[in-house]
Amino acid sequence: MGFFDRISNVWKGFLSLWVSDIETRNPEAVYESAIEERIRKHRELKKAVSGIVYLRNKLSAELEQKEKELKEVQIQIPVAVEEGDDDVALVLIQKKDELTARIATLQGELEKVGAQAEDAKSGLLAFQGEIDKLRREKEEMLAKKANAEARITIQETLDGLSTDADIKALENVRSHIGKLQAEADVNTEIAGESLDSKLKNIKAKTANHAARAQLDEMKKQMAARKSSQAQAAAGVKKTM
């Protein structure tokens, strides 16, 4: 395969894909085109059928005329014989034979053409049925397409609404909780650095120092009493 043949095949492939994409996007146009094409072929077939029917009718009319002529000749022959007019009788007999042969031929042709006409009419009716069937299919398929698209749209809308609502609700809750935490942190930080807090700390420390001083004083006093008691006990022993 040559280079240009390969390029041609590639372009044919692209064109086929492009056409297929257009067809899938416009199903109604595709159906209409198919229906119109069948209608055109139906008209052509109808013309052909009409030609066969015309030939059948023509043969039938000619057969009817020849049979009528044959009956007349058959009536005339005995009259010519009775009158002794042999020449006329011979002509009439020859005409009878010709008419008989022609009638036989017409009957054979009419039988064939009649069968063809019936087949053609049956085919024409069947073709018309296919057109009607295609029209019904078009309506059904387009209805299915519209229904499917509507269901997909509704589902996508519902999915989108559900997801958006959930996300928004979660974001609102998270934001609110975060703000509460930040507010609590700010209050804690402010409370730790306020003047009242510092005064409370100082008072607590002062009270602690006072208590500690009292404790130390009590310990000193107790130690002094114990020392005095020990000295007194020692003096008593010496005296004895």
16 burial (CB, 10 Å; 0-12 / 13-18 / 19+) is: exposed
pLDDT digit string (tens) for 98-121? Answer: 999 999 999 999 999 989 888 888
pTM across the whole model: 0.47
Cβ atoms of residues 27 and 148 within 8 Å: no
- DSSP summary character for residue 194: S
Tell me the mean pLDDT in the region 34-49: 87
Return the DSSP state at 26: -
What are 147-206's pLDDT values in tens digits?
888 888 888 777 665 556 666 777 777 787 877 787 776 666 655 555 566 666 666 666
* pLDDT attached to residue 60: 92
Rounded Cα–Cα distance for residues 145 and 150 (Å)? 8
Place of tokens 């589902």: 155
Q: How far apart are alpha carbons 134 and 137 in whole angstroms?
A: 5
Cβ-proximal residues to 127 (8 Å cutoff; 6+ apart), any chain: 38, 41, 42, 45
Question: Could you report how far apart the first and last alpha carbons of the chain are, in Å?
Answer: 145
- The Cα–Cα gap between 156 and 152 comes to 6
Residue tagged 């000619």 (tokens): 62
What fold is seen in the domain 3-171? Helix Hairpins (1.10.287)
